[in-house]
C-alpha cells in the first residue's frame, strides 16, 4: 500500500507539473496581463480538486471549495504586498512578508464559521486592499527570452506539482478546511513570480503581479462554481464545469485588456 501511495503521489506531481508547463508555455512573450491571466488560473486548486473529487465525498469537496474561495482574498493581499515589497526589497524577503500576511488571514479563517457570503466579503476586502495599495507602474517594452529560462520553468512547474500532489494525497487527513486553504495558497503565483524575477528582473515581475488583482477573478469563479455545483451535479461534473468557467473568465479578462491596450 505504501508503494502504491508513493506511486500515486509521483504520478499526480508529474501530471500537474506537465499541466503547468503546457499552460505557462502559452503565456510566453504575451505581456504581463496574459501572463497574469495564466498564472492566476486554478493550476494548483484545479488538479487538486480533480483528485479530491475521486477520493473524497461531495460534501468534502464542497466545503473545501468554500475555503478555497475565501482564500482568494488573502491571495489578493499576498500579491499586493509582494508588488509593493519588490519595489524596495529582493524577492526572498518580499515573499516572506507576503506569505506571513497570507498565513495570518488563513489562520483567522479557520476560527470563524465560514459561509459563502462571508467568503465573498473577504474577497471584497482583499480587492479594496489591492485598489488602495497597488502602485502605478510604468509600461514595459517587449523582453527577449533568455536561453536558459526553461530550467526555471521546469523548476516552478515541479514545485507546484509536488505541492499540490502532497495536498491531494493528504486531503483526507487534512480535512476540507485545511485542504481548501492549502489548495488556495498561491503556489503557482509564487513559483512563477520567482522565476520571472530571476530571469527578467523585478520590474516585469511587479507588472505581472499587479495585474493579478483583476485576473484572480478566474480562480474565484472556479471555486464559486465548484461550491455551488457540487450537490446538484457529481463532484467530477462540477469540477469540469468549474474549469470551463475559469477558462472563459480568464480568456474574457485577457481579451478585454488586450483590446483596451491596443486602442490606447
Asked if residue 255 belongs to a domain, the reply is yes
Q: Give the pLDDT band of residue 168 (cuts 50, 70, 90).
A: low
pLDDT at 203 over 80: yes
Which H, E and C letters describe 196-245, residue by residue?
HHHHHCHHHHHHHHHCHHHHCHHHHHHHHHHHHHECCECHHHHHHHHHHH
CA 115 to chain centre: 21
Q: Give the pLDDT band of residue 192 (cuts 50, 70, 90).
A: confident
d(CA 130, CA 209): 11
What is the 8-class DSSP label of residue 81?
A: H
pLDDT (0 to 100) of residue 1 = 42
Asked if residue 196 belongs to a domain, the reply is yes
- Report the pLDDT averaged over residues 43-50: 84
Q: Cα angle at 111 between 94 and 159, to 5 degrees?
A: 40
pLDDT at 4 over 50: no
Structure confidence by residue, pLDDT tens digits, 119-153 = 999 999 999 999 999 888 876 655 555 545 566 66
Asked if residue 141 belongs to a domain, the reply is no
- Report the pLDDT averaged over residues 155-161: 74
Which residue has better confidence, 2 or 218?
Answer: 218
Asked if residue 140 belongs to a domain, the reply is no
Which residue has better confidence, 111 or 138?
Answer: 111
pLDDT at 199 over 80: no
Which residue has better confidence, 263 or 68?
Answer: 68
Q: Which sign, positive or negative, has the C-alpha torsion 190, 193, 189, 108?
A: positive
What is the 8-class DSSP label of residue 257?
A: H
Asked if residue 127 belongs to a domain, the reply is yes
Measured N-to-C along each axis, helices 171-184 and 72-86 cross at an angle, to the nearest 10 degrees, of: 50
| Structural domains of the chain, count | 1
Domain range for 62: 2-135+146-263
Amino acid at each position: 500500500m505504501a508503494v502504491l501511495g508513493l506511486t500515486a503521489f509521483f504520478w499526480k506531481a508529474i501530471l500537474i507539473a506537465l499541466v503547468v508547463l503546457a499552460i505557462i508555455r502559452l503565456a510566453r512573450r504575451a505581456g504581463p496581463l496574459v501572463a497574469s491571466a495564466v498564472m492566476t488560473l486554478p493550476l494548483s486548486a484545479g488538479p487538486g480538486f480533480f483528485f479530491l473529487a475521486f477520493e473524497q465525498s461531495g460534501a468534502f469537496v464542497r466545503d473545501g471549495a468554500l475555503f478555497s474561495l475565501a482564500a482568494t482574498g488573502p491571495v489578493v493581499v499576498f500579491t499586493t504586498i509582494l508588488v509593493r515589497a519588490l519595489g524596495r526589497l529582493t524577492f526572498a524577503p518580499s515573499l516572506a512578508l507576503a506569505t506571513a500576511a497570507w498565513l495570518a488571514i488563513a489562520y483567522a479563517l479557520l476560527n470563524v464559521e465560514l459561509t459563502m457570503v462571508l467568503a465573498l466579503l473577504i474577497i471584497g476586502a482583499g480587492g479594496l486592499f489591492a485598489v488602495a495599495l497597488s502602485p502605478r507602474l510604468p509600461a514595459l517594452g517587449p523582453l527577449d527570452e533568455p536561453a536558459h529560462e526553461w530550467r526555471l520553468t521546469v523548476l516552478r512547474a515541479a514545485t507546484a506539482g509536488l505541492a499540490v500532489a502532497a495536498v491531494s494525497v493528504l486531503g483526507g487527513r487534512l480535512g476540507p478546511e485545511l485542504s481548501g486553504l492549502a489548495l488556495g495558497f498561491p503556489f503557482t503565483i509564487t513559483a512563477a513570480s520567482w522565476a520571472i524575477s530571476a530571469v527578467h528582473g523585478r520590474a516585469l515581475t511587479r507588472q505581472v503581479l499587479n495585474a493579478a488583482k483583476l485576473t484572480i477573478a478566474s480562480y474565484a469563479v472556479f471555486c464559486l462554481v465548484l461550491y455551488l455545483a457540487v450537490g446538484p451535479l457529481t463532484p467530477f461534473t462540477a469540477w469540469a464545469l468549474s474549469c470551463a468557467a475559469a477558462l472563459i473568465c480568464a480568456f474574457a479578462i485577457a481579451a478585454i485588456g488586450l483590446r483596451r491596450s491596443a486602442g490606447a
